Structure 1
Amino acid sequence: MQVSQAVKDLTEDVIRFRRALHQIPELGLTEFKTKEYLLRQLQSFGINEIYPILETGLVVVFRSDVPGKTLAFRTDIDGLPIKEETGIDFASTHEGRMHACGHDGHMATMLGFAKYLANHPEAIQGTIVLIFQPAEEGPGGAQLLIDEGVLRDFAVEKIVGLHVFPDFPEGVIACRKGPMMARNGEINITIHGASAHGAQPQQGSDAILAAAAVIQGLHSVISRNISPLSSGVITFGKIHGGDAENIIPGKVVLNGTMRAFEDEIYETMTQRITVLAEEIAKGYGCRAEVDFQHLYRVVDNDTEMVDILAEVVGDSYLETPPYMLAEDFSMYQKEIPGVFFFVGIRNEDKGYTYPLHSNKMNFDEKNLLQGIECYVRLIPALNDTKGAAE
């Protein structure tokens, strides 16, 4: 996709934005320095309508006399609790915090887009709403902003978002119709047993043994309770129990994640996890307490909007396979039509191959110009009611 000269002119700004933001990562709902930086830059563009939302979010509005839809573009702004090991000279200055999921790049893209619109008001049709959203990584800032009225108060009709993605090479814009990213939830299981001396196991109920059996048993949900033609995943990434090697513990806590592309499959998984965990624990003389935290829904791309995206991107467009990753952009799509797409950043020659959430994840900022170019092109394309009718 050919980037226009007007967008190329933003290169130095975009690099500066991204590298400044990369140094100040903050966790969800605590992005105070990030908000201050974003606000200063937006004000420097001469933008009149900037509104705070929650404590750390911002909404920017551009209006035009040219009739058109109200289109929203969204970026996430939070970082992750990861110790950075990239070795770059603009590394995080916040110990144990890192922009390891590209949100610094997303913000830089949005700032570049905002500056473009401020400098090129002729590009605006209808109303453009830019959403700087906190807490994508948790606890789910999209729903919090929806509850605050961000879509209702600004009468948003359609929404667009993007994510830098190291699975695809530089220059690629990837998307797909319908489900693209999974619905997800957290699984929390507490196994209650009876403590005893390790040399006298018959006097207790071994919560560790029961927990091991529960973990093994729950993996049968995927292979035996859902169709082989459907997809789901259950992973336990954290287990805690016991205080000493010769004591049978009375409690073990399991923490995991579950994902699916279909609500019916997701509900089946929750039901079977509950039944199996409780019954398996009983078989070991223990009791299982099962709790779920249901998080984001399926990223479900609007068919018409994907067609429009593919058309404006041209030869750079690639249909992505679905991913079991989750994104709270899906919460906006529950309310209004939306499209979420990937911007390729993989460059093996430069070593930009590390996955999202890696402590070495990095990319070339020139790829962010692809995102800005997409946004600019989507304004007239999404307002083309004739094309939509066809």
Structure 2
Amino acid sequence: MDLLKQITKWRRDLHQIPELGLEEFKTSQYVKKELEEMGYQPISVLETGILVYLDCHQDKTIAFRSDMDALKITEQTNCEFASKHQGYMHACGHDGHMAALLGFAKKLSQVPADFAYNILLIFQPAEESPGGANLICQAGILKQYNVKAIFGLHLMPTIEAGKIACRPGPLMAQNGELDVTVTGKSAHAGLYHLGVDSILIASQLICQYQNILTRVIAPVESCVINIGEIKGGTVRNIVADQAVFKGTVRTYSETVFKKITDTMQAINHGMEEAYGCKIDFSCPPMYPPVLNDYDLYAQFVKLTGDNYEELKEPLMLAEDFAFYQREIPGIFFYVGTKTERYNSGLHTETFNFDEEVLLQAVELYYQIVCKIKLGE
């Protein structure tokens, strides 16, 4: 079977068994079996994750990572290899990421292991949540194998199929999930002065949070504060004693993220003093920003060929690959999937792609392992 047919089979098999983070048991069994048939001895990590280590008798190791988990989405692609797990779907392309890394493993198994660096393949669970990359780092895997650089990819339906896209420095954002509960005091609307209006306070909080972006954070910094959900009150003629709103905060700097959340909390304290309400606030950082190493990037670009596109701006999406880049230099890049037939967005029920783009990923991985030079 040629490599494209094999990669297509892997991708479509995996597409049919989507599983949530840290629950990828069928997925893990499938990947492990395929790797064993190539002659590897897969190593289990985090129960559902898998490592493959190629010892080339070198001091340093270079790593390549694929995520494994799926999403809680009901598939509507109508394709013949649709999800067999009702209500779950590989709507973010992780089935393709795994198939590409399997294809790379297959290619490596067919050539002598005389590379300049040892190679670690990471099939990582739980990218969507709770952040399997962080768990891998906490487990000491990078240090255990002396990994000095890491590479990963994401399929991207906003980029034309056949193109590789990337940029140096910031590529994706740090994100945090914002949860705010305002507790006031109920009263009849005609006697509003006897109550504490949680809806009014929540409305003012939302407006003042937005002012942080234009009056506290420097204009050269890119930031997003989005409130996507708000609930409050029970009856139209009663002052609401509780209002809840939820949102997301995104930026490309951990320092800026902290400044935003610190300012939010200062605003909260002022509102509590002014109105006598109670405000419960939570906005912990989830994933750090994805920051591509400049030295690695300069080498990476030379390996991409004519179909390369340097992105002018980073995206306000988040990705747990950033945890690896906190510890070691790394490059995260996009493989375009957009065609006239396949143009649905990530995390949609109709996301799909042509598996031929995965061959491009395999070849680029191979060029990286053959030609990238790591610093001291």
Does residue 1:14 correspond to 2:14, yes or no? no
Query: Which of the numbers 347, 357, 371 marks the counterpart of 2:347?
Result: 357
Residue 304 of structure 2 corresponds to 313
Alignment of 1:186-225 (within 5 A): 186-197=177-188, 200-225=191-216
Moved more, 185-194 or 331-340: 185-194
Residue 32 of structure 1 corresponds to 25
Supply the distance in 2 between the matched residues of 1:335 and 1:220 (Cα, whole angstroms).
34
Does residue 1:335 correspond to 2:327, yes or no? yes
Distance 1:111 1:246, change over 3 A: farther
Query: Which of the numbers 63, 80, 90 marks the counterpart of 1:89?
Result: 80
Q: Deviations over 1:74-100 (max 9, x none)?
A: 011111122222222222222222111
Query: Which of the numbers 260, 265, 289 marks the counterpart of 1:298?
Result: 289
Tell me if the contact between 1:63 and 1:125 (Cα under 8 Å) persists in the aligned partners.
no
Residue 231 of structure 2 corresponds to 240
Distance 1:56 1:199, change over 3 A: farther
* Post-superposition offset of 1:278: 3.4
Query: Which of the numbers 5, 23, 46 marks the counterpart of 1:54?
Result: 46
Does residue 1:273 correspond to 2:264, yes or no? yes
Does residue 1:261 correspond to 2:237, yes or no? no
Moved more, 241-250 or 130-139: 241-250
Supply the distance in 1 between the matched residues of 2:317 and 2:289 (Cα, whole angstroms).
10
Distance 1:95 1:209, change over 3 A: farther
Tell me if the contact between 1:117 and 1:124 (Cα under 8 Å) persists in the aligned partners.
no
Tell me if the contact between 1:191 and 1:281 (Cα under 8 Å) persists in the aligned partners.
no
Distance 1:323 1:129, change over 3 A: same
Supply the distance in 1 between the matched residues of 2:3 and 2:187 (Cα, whole angstroms).
67
Supply the distance in 2 between the matched residues of 1:42 and 1:182 (Cα, whole angstroms).
33
Supply the distance in 2 between the matched residues of 1:244 and 1:123 (Cα, whole angstroms).
73
Aligned length: 375
Q: Deviations over 1:280-323 (max 9, x none)?
A: 45544422121222111121111121111111112111111211
TM-score (norm 2): 0.94
Query: Which of the numbers 19, 42, 45 marks the counterpart of 2:38?
Result: 45
Moved more, 39-48 or 113-122: 113-122
Equivalent position SS for 1:90: coil
Does residue 1:109 correspond to 2:107, yes or no? no
Matched letter for residue 146 of structure 2: A
Equivalent position SS for 1:211: helix
Supply the distance in 1 between the matched residues of 2:234 and 2:77 (Cα, whole angstroms).
36
Does residue 1:181 correspond to 2:172, yes or no? yes
Matched letter for residue 182 of structure 1: A
Tell me if the contact between 2:59 and 2:146 (Cα under 8 Å) persists in the aligned partners.
no
Matched letter for residue 171 of structure 1: G
Matched letter for residue 162 of structure 1: L
Supply the distance in 2 between the matched residues of 1:98 and 1:153 (Cα, whole angstroms).
34
Q: Deviations over 1:63-82 (max 9, x none)?
A: 235x5731100011111122
Supply the distance in 2 between the matched residues of 1:22 and 1:337 (Cα, whole angstroms).
31
Does residue 1:77 correspond to 2:68, yes or no? yes
Residue 379 of structure 1 corresponds to 369
Residue 316 of structure 2 corresponds to 324
Equivalent position SS for 2:221: coil
Q: Deviations over 1:323-343 (max 9, x none)?
A: 111111111111111111110
Query: Which of the numbers 354, 359, 365 marks the counterpart of 1:369?
Result: 359
Equivalent position SS for 1:334: helix
Matched letter for residue 30 of structure 1: E
Tell me if the contact between 1:164 and 1:343 (Cα under 8 Å) persists in the aligned partners.
yes
Distance 1:331 1:212, change over 3 A: same
Matched letter for residue 54 of structure 2: F
* Unaligned ranges ≥5, structure 1: 1-7
Equivalent position SS for 1:318: strand
Matched letter for residue 372 of structure 1: V
Matched letter for residue 328 of structure 2: I
Matched letter for residue 323 of structure 2: M
TM-score (norm 1): 0.91
Tell me if the contact between 1:22 and 1:92 (Cα under 8 Å) persists in the aligned partners.
yes
* Post-superposition offset of 1:181: 1.0
Tell me if the contact between 2:172 and 2:291 (Cα under 8 Å) persists in the aligned partners.
yes
Tell me if the contact between 1:62 and 1:124 (Cα under 8 Å) persists in the aligned partners.
no
Equivalent position SS for 2:267: helix
Equivalent position SS for 1:313: coil
Matched letter for residue 146 of structure 1: C
* Post-superposition offset of 1:47: 0.8
Residue 5 of structure 1 corresponds to none
Supply the distance in 2 between the matched residues of 1:318 and 1:307 (Cα, whole angstroms).
14
Supply the distance in 2 between the matched residues of 1:47 and 1:141 (Cα, whole angstroms).
23
Supply the distance in 2 between the matched residues of 1:95 and 1:242 (Cα, whole angstroms).
35
Give the fraction of aligned pairs with identical amino acids, expressed as a percent: 43
Tell me if the contact between 2:132 and 2:320 (Cα under 8 Å) persists in the aligned partners.
yes
* Post-superposition offset of 1:256: 1.4
